[in-house]
A and B are shown apart, each in its own frame.
Chain A
Amino acid sequence: DTGVSQNPRHKITKRGQNVTFRCDPISEHNRLYWYRQTLGQGPEFLTYFQNEAQLEKSRLLSDRFSAERPKGSFSTLEIQRTEQGDSAMYLCASSSGTVAYYGYTFGSGTRLTVV
């Protein structure tokens, strides 16, 4: 078990370009969460999956953002037509069932810089 893996660790892109991030959760975890964190703030919830089903999306997730988890294993988060305000750390986390008592296991994150 290698924990939650996120790729890439860093991404620099030009405004207007599309970017895609990948998250590989802990293998036996059926829930997968995406968060965004900007400097000096706590992580903000974006969306989560139970197996392949996307159960909830935050209103923070504009139409330019889409997330998938096609086989209930890894997940991708795509941002289209990136804007400078999208610069942030994108965190993925996974859990087995409910979050009670043990919370999530987070990945190391993907730091996006839009120039």
Chain B
Amino acid sequence: GQNIDQPTEMTATEGAIVQINCTYQTSGFNGLFWYQQHAGEAPTFLSYNVLDGLEEKGRFSSFLSRSKGYSYLLLKELQMKDSASYLCATNRDDKIIFGKGTRLHILP
């Protein structure tokens, strides 16, 4: 994706907490999305941040710092079904530009 950086892979244990970081190019930025994508399936919307701060939605939270061009997705109480790719994406010119995604592996 256009200057969107996130780790390629991460591994965590069932029941634990994991934080997936994302940095992006700040010019032309209008908002930041997180999507979840299971293997062979379409991406599904998780969150959208347009203002600085933390937004919590159940087990998932998303944080944004616009000045730093930084976001993270926090997943709590990990479940096996959370094994998926997590896509950081920016809203630019009213279309979504995706990063390459972070493949999250959950160990029992």
Contact = CB atoms under 8 A, between A and B. Distances in A.
A102 B45 contact: yes
A48 B95 contact: yes
A43 B100 CA distance: 8
A89 B1 CA distance: 16
A42 B3 CA distance: 13
A62 interface: no
Contacts of A45: 95-98
B44 interface: yes
A112 B89 CA distance: 24
A89 to B, nearest CB: 8
A44 B44 contact: no
Given A41-B101, A43-B43, A100 B95 contact: no
Contacts of A109: 42
A104 B96 contact: yes
A100 B91 contact: yes
Majority secondary structure of chain A interface residues (helix, strand, loop or mixed): loop
Interface string B82-108: 000001010101111111110100000
Give the interface size class of chain A: 20 to 34
Given A42-B99, A100-B50, A109-B42, 18 more contacts: A40-B101, A40-B103, A42-B4, A42-B87, A42-B89, A43-B43, A43-B98, A44-B98, A45-B96, A48-B95, A98-B94, A99-B94, A100-B30, A100-B31, A100-B48, A103-B33, A103-B96, A104-B96
Interface of B: 1, 4, 30-31, 33, 35, 41-45, 48, 50, 87, 89, 91, 93-101, 103
Interface of A: 33, 35, 40-45, 48, 56, 91, 98-109
29 contacts: A33-B95, A33-B96, A40-B101, A41-B101, A42-B87, A42-B100, A42-B101, A45-B96, A45-B97, A48-B95, A56-B93, A56-B95, A91-B42, A91-B43, A99-B94, A99-B95, A100-B31, A101-B48, A101-B50, A102-B48, A103-B33, A103-B35, A103-B48, A103-B96, A104-B45, A105-B45, A106-B43, A106-B44, A109-B42
